[in-house]
Amino acid sequence: MNTVEVADKKFELLIENDNINKRTRLIGIQMNVDYENRCPVFIGVLNGSFLFMADLLKEIEIPCEVGFIRVSSYKGTASTGTVRETFGLPDTLKDRDVILVEDIVDTGFTLKYILEKVHLQQPASVRVCTLLYKPDAIQTQIDELEYVGFEIPNEFVVGYGLDYNGLGRNLKDIYKAIP
């Protein structure tokens, strides 16, 4: 399927699931090396990261813990710039190695908000793993961005956990909006 329709928008194929799986496997291998003899806490940023997080964790062979946070700054296809936290971080991150797992980093505002909350708990280390990164959209420095699946253009995307007005998360590939 090279094009799909989600609600009132048309999208064309950007990244096939096979490529997502290969890249996720490589990131997992790197994390197993980087965190050898440690027990990191993976924190998925819901809702978008759930598929990527599940597939990534299947590649992790070291001991680890898993948690989730849910925040939102999107309405339709644009960021509102205001971050709403609907449920928060675990409060046991002091002296822990934390890996935040994101579906996409674009403006960086949501991630910056989460990172500030994480750093308040004085973790031993904090790294960010994102499936997608839009370097042309970033508006704030994210020093913790360590693991990036794919750099993509500043276009609206859907599929593999990413949605358009709540729809399209279940698509196995990633699609970009057709203008």
Mean pLDDT computed over every residue of the chain:
91
DSSP string, 8-76: TEEEEEEE-HHHHHHHHHHHHHHHHHHTTT---EEEEEETTTHHHHHHHHHH--S--EEEEEEEEEEET
Name the residues annotated as catalytic: 106
Q: Is 7 helix (H, G, I), strand (E, B) or coil?
A: coil
Q: What is the CATH number of domain 23-152?
A: 3.40.50.2020
- One-letter amino acid of 169: R
**Model pLDDT for residues 8-30, shown as the tens digit of each residue:** 999 999 999 999 999 999 999 99
Residues, the chain: 179
**Model pLDDT for residues 29-45, shown as the tens digit of each residue:** 999 999 999 999 999 99
What is the reported pLDDT for 40?
Answer: 97
**Model pLDDT for residues 58-94, shown as the tens digit of each residue:** 999 999 999 999 876 555 545 555 665 555 677 789 9
What is the reported pLDDT for 83?
Answer: 62
Closest CA to 87 of 131, 65, 117, 52: 117
Hey, where are the domains in the chain?
23-152
